[in-house]
A and B are shown apart, each in its own frame.
Chain A
Amino acid sequence: MLAKRIIPCLDVHAGKVTRGVQFGKAEKGELRNVGDPVECARVYDAAGADELVFLDITASSEKREIFLDVVRAVADQVFIPFAVGGGVRSVEDYRAILLAGADKVAMNTAAVENPAMITDAAERFGAQCVVVAIDAKSEFGIQNSKFGNRKSKIENRKWQVYTHGARVPTGKDVVEWAREVEARGAGEILLTSIDRDGTRDGFEIELTRVVADAVTIPVIASGGAGRIEHFADAIIDGHASAVLAASLFHFGELTVAQVKEYLASRGVAVRR
């Protein structure tokens, strides 16, 4: 049986793994260094991580080489799949990252600005390596749920796609965009709830479920992991194929092995 995947995410800034709280904090210096990317990757591999995601949160062209060196070093020493994202602007960027040894490349802003790039990348490199990252923000905040019938509000919930590190609204509906990226050839969706990212309040289950149910490609739930139960919620209720978390794992509050043991106790297939 196909196992649900647990994916630690590593934010890489100037060659080091860091973690900020919520999007867009690199500029403000609100980042904590937590280590060497290769060492982190090795530790996660040994702990049973099914896959890794490296996000280049510097993503400036002059720092690109440093990041590609990180990718090469990881690929040389870790024998599980890993994806790379952040600042991917072109099919040439794709190629450079894949040649450096990544298995998948996630694009976000570039996919919105130039959706044809999804198809280009899928045709040139195969859909298996094309991950479209979707940053989703709820259109109706919690405050709106006090109006009218709560149930109908929930049925009508909408999420909007944001780009540029969750700063720029695009006017695109998340579910429609998810369907479009699938139709254009994406092999997987990395779905992040902007509202939940960094809060530890749990993954946004409704968002995860509506997107996972709208497409046939796998969906990775991201943003908000705070407790071990949250992982089961995202998989069992959110229908996610994989769950991603960063700070929980980095700071050692939970290990991948603990999460897997818990998921197994809830009847979820995991690789152990």
Chain B
Amino acid sequence: MTNCVEFRGVDKSFVFGPDGPKKVLDGIELRFPEGITTAVVGESGSGKTTLLQLINAVLEPDAGEVRVFDEPIPDQHREKFRRRIGYSVQGAGLFPHMTNRDNVVLLAKLEGWIDDLIEERYQVLLAEMGLAMDVSNRYPRELSGGQQQRVGLCRALMLRPRLLLLDEPFSAVDPITRIGIYERFQAVQDHEGVSAVLVTHDMREAVRLAGNLVILREGKVLQHGPPQDVLNAPAHEYVEMLVKEHL
């Protein structure tokens, strides 16, 4: 089985203040299998968002290497590289001055897709995410948080990426709506065969959506593997605590 993402001895530090650089990621060695969702679980400050930003080259590792689909991240044409990776973020991050439709189809237009193809893909995504056509010409603010989040997922999926990066996209949505989105997301993922990396602080969400778990704390991987393995045999008291408190 190939890996969608691979971290080889990755270090990353940031300078936050007068204390000098602080290591946010420390010797990360990870392989995320293709075709399933890998959930990176950790509290804020664990380095999980940094990990995500290394995958689409928004950040550069200080040491080590990040590989995507068994290839090193290209030095040039980063925009092209990033467009092959869908990205969805907490609160959806929709552009407020564009209609929902324009938000979703922006990249396809920039890629020069023909209108028919854009329209067809748009319709399919909208249906898959359970959105009514009447959201198209409205602006993001006119939608509920859950609807916005689904529009955001449509945008991330528009160019048929092989990999999706999800930065806590469900955490701002109320629990009942969230269940609905989980189901939609899982159906789309199965249908499209897209790999995903989900960053979350919610262990319950991680177990629900992921086929592979990574527990991150203070820049170090505490445990990783299939959810059942992690749940049955926590390798660290922090992981045990997570399992107990959140499930």
A, B from the same assembly: no
